[in-house]
Amino acid sequence: MREIIFDTETTGFDPASGDRLVEIGCIELINRVPSGLTFHAYYHPERDMPAAAYNVHGLSADFLAKYPVFAKGAAELLEFLGDSPLVAHNARFDFGFLNHELKLCGLPDVSMDRMIDTVAIARTLHPGAKHSLDALCTRYGIDRSHRVKHGALLDAELLAQLYIELTGGRQIGLGLAQEEAKQIVGAELTASAMVRPVRPARVFTASAAELERHAAFVATLKEPLWHQEA
């Protein structure tokens, strides 16, 4: 099963008010295991970069000016996405920006039926807890020490690890490893039993010579307790 984990960075929160997508990062999973294939792109937003957004991801308008607009890279992105399910954290936000950019290009929306939202999964598993990416990485012991600012590909890599945890991936792998270990140990024990030489039974009965020496020793005892009258 192929799934795509993705994350976006934008100029703000609302594409309807003119905010644009400026970065996307995608990680391919095959049967819940990263395949090593990724997609990453920056896009010229054709507008300024608000200070609040810059403080989150550190992408300035000057930096993005050398990259193509989304329309010129849309075909390459869509080819990578294919028809696979798309996993994102607070997925409606990312889907909203992605589909807004596709609409501006005159391209069809990505169906919301393909959406898998890790926030919704986390809320089911951990009701009442914090469900931010940072909080969930801490809960599941995922190292995010290298995450100084938000970045689409970096956040997608963290989310891929989190998604695997949320869906029981590591525990499943551990169970399989334990079962395999049992089989290996069992095979080793069986093989060891097959080659181990059979030892003759030990004899614990005293010999006649030992009994004779014991009787001679007892005869030397003076007034032993078992000869005294009660």
40 carries a ligand binding annotation: no
Catalytic residue of the set 89, 100, 131, 150: 150
CA–CA separation, 86 vs 130, rounded Å?
23
134 carries a ligand binding annotation: no
- Residue 227 catalytic? no
**In what side-by-side order are the strands of the sheet with 115-117?**
33-42, 21-30, 2-10, 86-88, 115-117
- Answer for the pair 118, 92: CB distance below 8 angstroms, yes or no: no
83 carries a ligand binding annotation: no
**Tokens 């949320």 belong to residue:** 166
48 carries a ligand binding annotation: no
Per-position b or e across 91-102, b if 16+ CB within 10 A of its CB = bebbbbbbbbbb
Annotated binding site for a divalent metal cation, which residues? 7, 9, 155
- Catalytic positions, written as ranges: 150
Annotated binding site for substrate, which residues? 7, 9, 57, 155
